[in-house]
Each structure stands twice: as structure tokens, then as C-alpha cells.
Structure 1
Amino acid sequence: MTEQTTTPGATSTEDTATPSPTDPLWVERNGTRTYTGFSARGARVEIGPAEAGAVFTPGELLKIALAACAGMSSDRAFSRRLGDDYRTTIRVEDPKLVAEDRYPVLTEKFEIDLSMLDDAEREKLLTIAQRAIDKACTVGRTLKAGARIPDAQFEQPTGG
């Protein structure tokens, strides 16, 4: 059963935000602690603990989502200046705080060749790229804002 409550007089942005449409996402259990994630567009990803082999852990997916979002957000700025065929690798390698089972810091590290630019051009491009990330990276903006995560909802499947 899903139970929803409303706080009388609530005025937070969560209560007044207009959600954007999104394709359905879900995971299905394959076995002990292993799942497959799906999108309605047909994408899929294998998820599980590191010892399960060729799967992503949920923490790795979080880091990959942040890196990809930063890359996609800054792509136009870099491609305008460096050309459509520029190459980059974006790493998020910060360690987990094991005692608290969380990542206290997530740092995007771009490996990108800017040697053809002088210092002023390089600084200008990096400023523009960072502004693009700050403005358009949904994952980073969500993490920085401290997304509210309500308790999980448990529903009985329908049908027979």
C-alpha cells in the first residue's frame, strides 16, 4: 500500500515544484543482491555488489551519472573551442567513507588536452565549462541541493 501525507501549510520548493516528464525507470531482481535496471527506452544496466563480477554497484552508478552529466553539460563549450572530435575522460574516484557507508566528496576530474590554448583562452574555456555544468548538470545540482529522499514505498503487486 502507498501512503501519502501532506504537511498543512507547507511551502517548500518540493511541494510547489512542477515535475518534468520522465520515462519510467525500474529495477528487477535477478538473484541475491543482483538487479537489472531498465528504462522505458530499452536501456538496461546490470547492478550488484562488486563480488558479483561484471556489474555496476549503486555507488559506481552514482559516480558515473555525475561524470556523464558534467561531460554532457560541458560538451557544447568544449566542442565549440576544441572541435567536435575532442576527447575527454571524466573520473570520479573519491573514496567511500566506509564507517558511514557514503561518499562525503564527489569530485569530477576532467582529463582533456587544452595545450593548444594559451593561458587566457584556457581559463576562459574552463570558466564557461564550469558555468555550463553548474547550470545544466541535473545530477550535480540535485546532489548539491541535498535531494530529499522520502522513505521507500512498499506496494502489493496487482493482478493474478
Structure 2
Amino acid sequence: MSDDTERSVELARTGPSRYRATNVRGTTLEIGDGSTADFTPVELLLVALAGCTAITVDPLVSRRAEATTFEVHTRADKVRDEQGSHLVDIRMTFDVAFPEGEGGEAARALLPDAIRKAEERLCTVSRTLALGATAETQINDV
């Protein structure tokens, strides 16, 4: 893939079951196993899903009217079964309010279609989850 399509982060161990993720812009995020306040990898997956969908939907509806409230609540159940550990019953709930008036009505009417388009075509995270992408692993002995 070319540099304009590549997305990457670096992850470095900072302690037992604690890591620091760094993006190409230098922003860091602490990750842990749930025994501290740090985000867990599963929580970050839920953030990625909600964030990608919101970032995709927001510009589409805000052309009609700026939301006065725009919150996404994402939840899932973590299970372990014959397929191993995974999430089931993933649900995103959008709490969105628009101002009264023609623009607000237009944005409110567009919201369901914008969310559907994000989930089915535009949001990279939801599309990747739906398509079941595989990840290659490489081990370097440093």
C-alpha cells in the first residue's frame, strides 16, 4: 500500500499489562488490562466504532443544522465460547438533538440514512468489522 493509504500506530510496554500507543502525529494514549483507569483494548474498539460512525455522520447532518447534542453510547457483551473470546450484541445508541426549524427538521430526517450509510459503506471501522478482516503478525527478534 502507498503512504497515503497506510494507517499506523506504535505500541510500547510501559509496565506490567500497561502500554502506550502513539500515533504518527505524536499523540499518546495509555492502554491497560482494566486494573487501572486506562482504556482497555475492547473499550478502544468500541471507541473506534462509535468515533468512526460519529465522525462520518456528523458532517452529513450538520450541513442542514448544527446538533445541539451529539452523543454516541456504545456497548457490547464480551463472551468466551467455542469461537474464543469475542464481543456480541454490540449496540450504538445515538442521542442527537437539533434546533427547531427547517434546518433542524432536515438534519433530523437525514440522521437515520446517514447512520445507515456510515455503517454499510463509509465508516472504515464498521466496514472492517463487518467484513471480518484478518491481521498478519510478524515477529522480529530485536
Q: TM tier, shorter chain? A: 0.7 to 0.9
- Classify the secondary structure of the residue corresponding to 1:59: helix
Give distance in 2, aligned partners of 1:148 and 1:23.
15
Question: Counterpart of 1:45 in 2: which secondary structure?
Answer: strand
* Shift in Å, 1:122: 3.8
Higher mean alpha-carbon deviation, 58-67 vs 117-126, is at 117-126
Give the aligned residue type for 1:82: A
Runs of 4+ with deviation above 2 angstroms: 17-24, 98-101, 114-125, 132-135
Counterpart for residue 47 of structure 1: 31
The one-letter code matched in structure 2 to 1:28 is A
The 5 A counterparts of 1:1-160 are: 20-51=4-35, 53-83=36-66, 86-99=68-81, 100-114=84-98, 116=100, 122-150=108-136, 152-157=137-142
The structure whose RCO (Cα within 8 Å, separation 6+) is larger is: 1
**Could you tell me which amino acid in structure 2 is paired with residue 131 of structure 1?**
K
CA 1:27–1:80: 2 relative to 1, 3 Å: same
Which structure carries more strand by proportion?
2
Question: How many pairs are equivalent?
Answer: 138
Q: Do 1:70 and 1:108's aligned partners in 2 also have CA atoms closer than 8 Å?
A: no
- Alpha-carbon deviations, 1:87-145, whole Å to 9, x = none? 21111112211454210232221111258479897444321342244322000000000
- Structure 2: runs of 5 or more not aligned: none
For 1:26 and 1:145, the matched residues in 2 are separated by 24
- Residue 82 of structure 1 and its aligned partner are, at CA, apart by 2.5
Report sequence identity in percent.
28
- Computed over aligned residues only, the root mean square deviation of the Cα atoms, in angstroms, reads 2.7
CA contact (8 A) 1:27 1:36 kept: yes
Q: Which runs of 5+ in 1 are unaligned?
A: 1-16
- The alpha-carbon distance between structure 1 residues 18 and 104, as it changes in their structure 2 partners (threshold 3 A), is farther
Counterpart-to-counterpart distance in 1, 2:42 and 2:55: 20
